[in-house]
Amino acid sequence: MAQPITTITARFMLFMTVNCYLVAVDDGFVLIDTGPVGGRAAIENALLQAGCQPGRLKQIILTHGDFDHCGNAAYLRDKFNAPIAMPRPDAGMVENGDMFASRQPPGPIMKAIVPLVSRLPQADRFTPDAVFDDGADLAEYGLDATAIALPGHCRGNTGILTAAGDLFCGDLFGNLNKPEIWSLVDDAAAMQASAEKVKTLDLRLIYPGHGKPFTLAEYVNANP
Ligand SMILES: [Zn+2]
């Protein structure tokens, strides 16, 4: 049976939005991604509104290591006493606040700009309580789901595929104007291969890091 999913959308960098997903499980909730530091109050309020009081959040699972998805992980871990599990390749990103820790080395312009706009602040860096690999059974973290490595956006980007067929795809896809490969690509060949991998899955709905959920058919139709 599908678990109820609450989408929590936070704003960052003026015009951008990013999603976190609160999934109801037997004995509480699992939070997939945690939004940017700037969206903290809104996210915390949304958790409480959904009935997720401290003690009810059992686990935080991250799809990848970027600052807009991990900005409140350490804060919420402390506040709600919920451990953090994330894809192994991206652990260095959240430990050091360096988005290139699991990407190809940046050119000089990116290297100059990135620390100014897209960086996990020192106080919000953390060491995850657990890391997982492709194919991991996430029941260990309280969610009836499997980890599916979907690299390309960064090395660790990972889909969380629930037993009900919902796929939280991280930043493989976005759906701002239409469902498509997300604009920030580190490794184009890997990203394409990840998109092809998703097409082989039996899915109910795809929940992207940015934008609205969509079906696999909607993605295929929008990207012939
Ligand atoms: Zn993102």
Q: What are the pLDDT digits (tens) for 162-220?
A: 999 999 999 999 999 999 999 999 999 999 999 999 999 999 999 999 999 999 999 99
Distance of alpha carbon 24 from alpha carbon 3, whole angstroms: 6
In this structure, are residues 169 and 198 in contact, taking their beta carbons and an 8 Å threshold?
A: yes
- How far is ligand 1, taken at its centre, from the CA of residue 136, in Å? 22
pLDDT confidence of residue 95: 96
Nearest by Cα to 94 from 115, 112, 113, 119: 119
Structure token pair of residue 3? 């678990």
Angle at 55 between CA 128 and CA 148, to 5 degrees: 40
> Which residue in this structure is represented by tokens 């991991």?
136
On the question of pLDDT at 1 being above 60, the answer is: no
Distance of alpha carbon 88 from alpha carbon 52, whole angstroms: 27
- How far is ligand 1, taken at its centre, from the CA of residue 174, in Å? 9
On the question of pLDDT at 157 being above 80, the answer is: yes
On the question of pLDDT at 151 being above 90, the answer is: yes
- How far is ligand 1, taken at its centre, from the CA of residue 18, in Å? 6
Q: What are the pLDDT digits (tens) for 48-81?
A: 999 999 999 999 999 999 999 999 999 999 999 9
In this structure, are residues 166 and 2 in contact, taking their beta carbons and an 8 Å threshold?
A: yes
Structure token pair of residue 190? 């890997």
- How far is ligand 1, taken at its centre, from the CA of residue 16, in Å? 9
List, as ranges, residues with CB under 5 A of the ion ligand 1. Answer: 68, 171, 209
Percent of the chain with pLDDT over 70: 98
- How far is ligand 1, taken at its centre, from the CA of residue 172, in Å? 9
> Which residue in this structure is represented by tokens 């899955």?
201
Residue 155 CB partners (closer than 8 Å, separation 6+): 89, 90, 102, 103, 186, 187
Average pLDDT over residues 23-42: 95
Q: What are the pLDDT digits (tens) for 100-149?
A: 889 998 888 888 877 766 789 999 999 999 999 999 999 999 999 999 99
- How far is ligand 1, taken at its centre, from the CA of residue 161, in Å? 18
How would residue 2 be classed by pLDDT, with cut points 50, 70 and 90? low
On the question of pLDDT at 91 being above 60, the answer is: yes
In this structure, which amino acid lies at residue 140? E
Structure token pair of residue 21? 């997903």
pLDDT confidence of residue 17: 94
Torsion of CA 128, 133, 44, 40, to 10 degrees: 70
- How far is ligand 1, taken at its centre, from the CA of residue 64, in Å? 9
- How far is ligand 1, taken at its centre, from the CA of residue 185, in Å? 11
15-28 as b/e, with b when 16 or more CB fall inside 10 Å?
eebbbbbbbbbeeb
> Which residue in this structure is represented by tokens 């992980």?
73
CA 199 to chain centre: 19
